[in-house]
Amino acid sequence: MVLILGELVKGRLSTNTREMLGRGRELADNANGRLALLFLGDKVELVAEEAIAYGADDVYLAENPQLGTYQADTYLQIIEKAVKDMEPEILLMGQTSIGRDLAPRLAFRLGTGICMDCVRLDIEPISGIVRMTRPVYGCKALAVMICKTKPQMASIRPGTMKSAELDRSRKGQVHALATDIDMSQIRVKVMAKVEEQTDSVSLEDAKVIVCGGRGMGSSDSFSILEELARLLGGAVGSSRPPCDAGWMPSTRQIGLTGKIVSPNLYIAVAVSGSSQHMAGCAESHTIVAINKDPEANIFAMARYGIVGDYREILPPFIRRTREILEGKGGSRCC
Amino acid sequence: MQIVVCIKQVLDPEMPYSAFKIDADGKRAIPPQGTPPVISPYDENALEAALQVKDAHGATVIALSLGSKLARSILNKPLAAGVDELVLIEDPAAGDLDSFASASILAAAIRKIGGADVVFTGRQAADWDAGIAGCAIAEELKMPCITVARKVSVQNGMVRVERLLSDGFEVVESPLPCVITVDSDLGELRQVTMQGLISAKKKPVSAWKLSDLKLESPPPPRCELLELYIPKRKRVCEIISGENAEDTAVKLADRLFEESLL
Amino acid sequence: MCPSITRYNFHTYSGGGRMALGLALAEGRLEDITDELLNIVYRCTACGACDSSCKYNSELEVLWPIYSTRAYLAGMGYFLPEHSMIIDSLRKEDNIMMKPKTDRGKWAEGLKVKDLSRGEKAEVVYHAGCLYCYDPELSIIARETVTLLQKAGVDVGIRGSQESCCGSIAFQLGFQGEFIKFAESNIDDWNAAGVSSVVTSCACGFGIMKSVYPLLGKEMKFEVLHITQYLDRLIKEGKIKLDRSIKSRVTYHDPCNLGRKSEIYIPWKGIEKKVLGQFILREPEKVICRGWNGVYEPPRDIIRSVPGIELVEMERIKEYSWCCGAGAGVKQCLDDFALWTASERIAEAKSVGAEAIVTACPWCERNFKDAIAASGDDILVYDVVELLRQAM
């Protein structure tokens, strides 16, 4: 059995969960096994229907008002018991805020190993062993590993696997899990939650992202990126150095330990293209790079590039873009 | 109050790109010439967290590191920054350990040091980027674990932590003792001063072997590493050039418009 | 000629001794790297005197094995604790003075000069160097230099707070990885700014830019010049007029990095043939830089062009110059050695009856001034630019 820990975003199964269901289905089919989704929450009605439509054979639901907000000690109790009962061959969860916090501890308690931030799964048909690939050394290299103990665990990086297809005619079974929570095990208490104010599009949803790097030089220089983003209806992101220097808040950070994004157009300005950063934006449809260094790593990943100083390139670029978007296309025709 | 900070010596993640090479047979990265190893950057944030708590409430801070060949001049830095004591577990058998094995050895060391109220470590190490060790240490010591902290304060035997979420942060509280993994948002390690370097020479450094921790050999790895390689990338970038900056910029805008990207 | 062996009188401190040390490390014969060993390795200003001496009649490369030994040790994590402070400062604040990056442009406050970091364009970019930017006593010289260039009608600009270190100290300390990053960044910045010349006051920077930057394989679309070369050109073209006379007996101290170390190191690959069992013929011919083509005459010409000046030469000059003692991290970490070396040079200057030492490197000037302050000597120290300004 392949078991997936699901997450919801805005009331629907997250894209990451649907991607795990997609790959999970293929892994389960390899051994003629079942694909199951496990979900913990306070309101779970529509989850089962959606999960089954996306390929799950079984949906295990743990419903309890205390499970509304993620809390490690609570979630671990329930999931550990459920996994020990179900004995899946493969256990997947997302490399998300919850996944990063939960997965190592779960692997410890289950006495098995885990491949964190996994980008690729290959199954050996006969033995059922899964080759798990993950980036290491700040995404400069790839490591392939296997785990001989069960369950074989991996936390899957969003955007690396093909999402399952929706098929509302599929049938599946729904199981309710007991949610007896041992309160004495709960030690960490969540006191408050603060959302960052964003008046612009969120990075994960943006179709266009303009990202600034270390070469921007100061926090003031980001204003030209904001102008460009506004013009294109997109969001402004940052690589890690501007966040470390305090020029941009860390919620704007794109990269291995920041956001993973996949916009249609990603404009990287004064970004060197270190592998930690590329991990965050490699799934973009088209990357455009502006950098003074002709050998910057970003040019290895970009589709279009200009070698030069952004201070000279961006103002005429913005002007021309504005002309084009306002319909004054000039001598060029589409 | 006693604080232990677990730090790891890694190859410099900021080495020049051309210097990064892999030994495919040995399945490890090759230490480059002219670029010394460093303390993993998130572990430096963990040291800063510990020193901030020490400044605010007073504490003894002990830095703990595990490895097969530890460079003293690198690991001297925490002492120069304000840490009170350094404990090194240097053993040839501690060469290529997986996160769970490292965690169990570090946990044994923390038990031997005794009396730790808070254990800090970085959220992930700059070599394997797994993010497992901190949580695994907490499980070994049966302590609560708070990950990706950006602000830490201690009050009345409880610790209050702001931890990162994808869209902001949450505030959590936990009784002591507990394990906290730290994110770079907490702040950079304070600058080392000349006085710091001079006083570092007088601070105690203990060097232990695995046998001192009553461990014959480290636990076997839970996963097996099959392959380590640098992926090949093809350059398909179209470099736009023009007579001057303005011309080039205009050409780029037109090109993107052609491809319906604007 | 080597300050190190002259002071410590033990073979390992000499150029030959250091080669033996490096070989022992490379062959793995030295397993235990003690503090004493590191002390010996770093008590050397990498001045290149040993190199020039050996190249007088043979083809031994002595300086580069010294660099490689340091790189080898640094790669394994063996260095003095002060080095880590310097490198940390370099990584975070782009300078080796452990001062904040935002203050880097302060030396130019009030000066009406083009700022290339704000998109203005100029033909020549003036690279002040970390010491001139942050040392308040010396930054006056940088201001005078810019004013002088502007008066002579040069289209000069500076990079202000966006200027970053040339990387020479990182390279000389063995942190070659760090050096590569800074060197490549500087080359890209200057290429992108479209300047035709880079003029620098810092001799250390000049030496590294001429001798090591080209080895990175990056196209350098500009010419690297030291300020003395540029000013000499301007004087000969008549663009600088020297009206006032200065009656003084001065001597000129050749900075190592301006002189013998500013020649490029050319790694050689080819075939060697032994002829008659004695002579070695090489195909293609090996080009060895012996330090003969360093920048020696331009500063001397400038001094001689000042009316009233009497220039006397010391005995150890040009490619056999005695180092001032400040290079390769010695000034920052081993100040006692730096000051002793400077005092030797000052004694030499006094022995030829000079009233002042003129030099062309801020580090030399800084070290001499510190040595004079420590010993209470009455000899004066000038930079070539200071002398020029006084003569205008």
CB atoms within 10 A of CB B258: 12
Of C119, C184, C188, the CB nearest to A311: C119
Best of C72, C85, C172, C216 to substitute, by most chain B Cβ atoms within 10 angstroms, is C85
Contact assessment for residue B238 and residue A274, using Cβ atoms and an 8 Å cutoff: no
Residue A223 resides in a domain: yes
pLDDT band, residue A198 (cuts 50/70/90): low
pLDDT band, residue A199 (cuts 50/70/90): low
Q: What is the CATH number of the domain that holds A139?
A: 3.40.50.620
Among the residue ranges A145-149, A325-329, C217-221, the one predicted with the least confidence is A325-329
Helices B245-258 and A310-325: angle between axes, nearest 10 degrees? 40
CB proximity A307 to C under 8 Å: yes
| Amino acid A85: pLDDT | 93
Q: Looking at the structure, do residues A149 and A214 belong to the same domain, yes or no?
A: no
Short-list B183, B132, B151, CA closest to A258 = B183
Q: How far apart are CA C226 and CA C201, in angstroms?
A: 6
CA dihedral sign of residues C137, C142, C147, C152: positive
Short-list A111, A122, A115, A102, CA closest to A156 = A115
**Contacts of A183 by beta carbon, 8 Å cutoff, 6+ apart:** none
| Amino acid A332: pLDDT | 43
Residue C221 CA: distances (Å) to CA of A46, A109, B79, C188, C190: 64, 61, 46, 9, 8
Q: How far apart are CA A82 and CA C350, in angstroms?
A: 88
| Amino acid A273: pLDDT | 87
Contact assessment for residue B47 and residue B5, using Cβ atoms and an 8 Å cutoff: yes
Structure tokens at A183: 């309160």
- Taking an 8 Å cut-off on Cβ atoms, the answer to whether A316 and B221 are in contact is no
Q: What is the CATH number of the domain that holds A317?
A: 3.40.50.1220
Contact assessment for residue C385 and residue C147, using Cβ atoms and an 8 Å cutoff: no
Q: Looking at the structure, do residues A40 and A160 belong to the same domain, yes or no?
A: yes
Short-list C70, C98, C105, C163, CA closest to C332 = C98
- Taking an 8 Å cut-off on Cβ atoms, the answer to whether A142 and B257 are in contact is no
Residue A194 resides in a domain: no
pLDDT band, residue A331 (cuts 50/70/90): very low
pLDDT band, residue A49 (cuts 50/70/90): very high
pLDDT at A328 over 60: no
Q: Where are the domains of chain B?
A: 2-213, 232-262
Total residues belonging to chain B: 262
Q: Looking at the structure, do residues A102 and A144 belong to the same domain, yes or no?
A: yes
Residue A199 resides in a domain: no
Q: How far apart are CA A184 and CA A170, in angstroms?
A: 41
Residues of chain C with Cβ-Cβ distance to A297 below 8 Å are none
Could you report the average pLDDT of every consecutive run of 10 residues in chain C (392 residues)?
88 88 88 86 90 82 90 89 88 86 86 82 91 89 90 90 89 92 89 89 90 88 92 89 88 91 79 83 79 87 90 89 89 90 92 92 92 90 90 84
CATH architecture of the domain with range B2-213: 3-Layer(aba) Sandwich (3.40)
Q: Phi, psi at residue B91, to the nearest 5°?
A: -150, 135
Residues of chain A with Cβ-Cβ distance to B136 below 8 Å are 104-105, 108
Residue A153 resides in a domain: yes
Number of domains in chain A: 2
Looking at every residue in chain A, the average pLDDT score rounds to: 90
DSSP for A294-318, written as a single string: TT-THHHH-SEEEES-HHHHHHHHH
Q: Looking at the structure, do residues A230 and A142 belong to the same domain, yes or no?
A: no
Buried b (16+ CB within 10 A) or exposed e, C294-331: bbbebbbebbebbeebebeebebbbbbbbbbbbbbbbb
| Chain B with chain C: Cβ pairs closer than 8 A | 72
Q: What's the distance, Cα to Cα, between the start and end of chain A in Å? A: 52
CB proximity B166 to C under 8 Å: no
Q: Looking at the structure, do residues A157 and A222 belong to the same domain, yes or no?
A: no
Domain boundaries, position A320: 208-325
Q: Looking at CA atoms only, how far is residue A218 from chain C in angstroms?
A: 10
Looking at every residue in chain B, the average pLDDT score rounds to: 92
Q: How far apart are CA B124 and CA B102, in angstroms?
A: 13
Return the H-helix or E-strand segment holding A237: strand A235-238
- Residue-wise pLDDT for B205-248, tens only, equals 999 999 999 888 888 999 999 999 998 877 688 888 888 888 89
Last residue of a domain, one of A127, A150, A185: A185
Q: Looking at the structure, do residues A165 and A288 belong to the same domain, yes or no?
A: no
- Residue-wise pLDDT for C103-161, tens only, equals 888 888 888 888 887 778 889 999 998 999 998 888 889 999 999 899 888 999 998 88
Q: Looking at the structure, do residues A160 and A213 belong to the same domain, yes or no?
A: no
Best of A218, A272, A293 to substitute, by most chain C Cβ atoms within 10 angstroms, is A293
Contact assessment for residue A181 and residue A77, using Cβ atoms and an 8 Å cutoff: yes
| Three-state SS at C33 | coil
Residue A266 CA: distances (Å) to CA of A172, A237, A248, A270: 40, 10, 18, 13
Mean pLDDT, range A116-124, rounded to an integer:
94
Structure tokens at A126: 């006969």
Q: Looking at the structure, do residues A55 and A173 belong to the same domain, yes or no?
A: yes
pLDDT at A67 over 70: yes
Contact assessment for residue B153 and residue C50, using Cβ atoms and an 8 Å cutoff: no
| Amino acid A334: pLDDT | 37
Q: Looking at the structure, do residues A13 and A92 belong to the same domain, yes or no?
A: yes
Of A293, A309, A311, the CB nearest to C184: A293
Beta strands in C174-331 (DSSP E): 197-200, 223-226, 248-252, 271-275, 279-283, 309-312
Q: How far apart are CA B12 and CA B38, in angstroms?
A: 5
Q: Where are the domains of chain C?
A: 3-80, 82-261+292-390
Q: Looking at CA atoms only, how far is residue C80 from chain B in angstroms?
A: 7
Residues of chain C with Cβ-Cβ distance to A295 below 8 Å are 184, 218
Q: Looking at CA atoms only, how far is residue C91 from chain B in angstroms?
A: 10
